[in-house]
Amino acid sequence: MRYLVWALRLVVFVVVLLFALKNTGPVDVNFYADHTAGGVPLIVVMLASFVAGVVFALLAIVPAALRRRREVRRLERDLVRLKNDVADRPVSSTSVSPDAVAPLSPL
């Protein structure tokens, strides 16, 4: 399975490399206020767009990840507290039948 994953990674790398080598032509990039960067290779523009997208996606994920981390810490504290409560509780030697807890109703 590990070899299959590495083979798939190699195939993806080669495809991306060939795509990059095919898209090296110069393009003009227009910014706001009529600022233009001319002669920039297309693959550089595409890579910059990809990196900007990854950064924005990570910034969108951070608040939810922090929330989940706080929730996990709170739940772990609750779990430790409940385990301590159960450990401190005396063990009762009397057993209760299930009918005494929840009597069966007629059908």
Q: Which of 16, 42, 21, 38 is nearest to 29 (CA)?
A: 38
Q: What is the pLDDT along the chain (107 residues), one digit of tens a residue?
A: 888 999 998 998 898 888 888 888 888 888 888 777 888 888 888 888 888 998 999 999 999 999 999 999 999 999 999 998 888 877 666 666 666 666 666 66
Give the pTM: 0.54
The H or E element spanning position 54 is helix 42-88
